[in-house]
Amino acid sequence: GSKYAVRKPISLTASITFEQLYGMIEGDSATCAELYALLSAISEVPARQGFSVTGSMDQSGNVQPIGGVNEKIEGFFDLCSHRGLDGSQGVIIPERNVRNLMLRKDVVEAIGKKAFRIYAIDHVEEGIEILMGMPPGEPGPDGTYPEGTVNRLVEDRLAALREASKVEKDRKERGKNENNNQ
């Protein structure tokens, strides 16, 4: 907990499952997407649905390159084209993959017309505002995040979960003690 449980520890286990499996896609290239899904769920800030995210990350949030970046972009572009490009769709990729881009002409043209976008990021927090329309937020001198930021909403929600867990634990203890006294 170097990000959210700095002042008060919290025990949290989260599991994310993607039900669909695709051939020839393997590895940890969904790590960033998994984090965004978790942050969106905890903060209750919806993520934009017109975006695809690919990229792995280290424990500090630095986005790592992935394989098959061209195929992933083109595959999502084809889906968006089929559904109708409206300028709100795009992909978030690792900055370190930009040098590997060799996209089809139709993808490059759509990007030039701003009908489709590619955002290249170095740190996972760069994608938060792109996906959620709200800044991630940096901690202030007292260690809390500013109002109106995703990190503040996450921090507040984790504090509420911590308190609810404590109340439930206390309730169970009281029930146990009452049963022992009978």
Catalytic residues: 29, 72
| Helices 69-83/105-112 angle, 10° precision | 70
Q: How many residues are given for the chain?
A: 182
Q: Which two tokens stand for residue 36?
A: 């965004």
Q: Put residue 68 in one of left, alpha, beta given phi > 0 → left and psi -120 to 50 → alpha.
A: left
Opening angle at CA 45, ends 82 and 167, nearest 5: 140
Phi/psi at 155 (5° precision): -60, -45
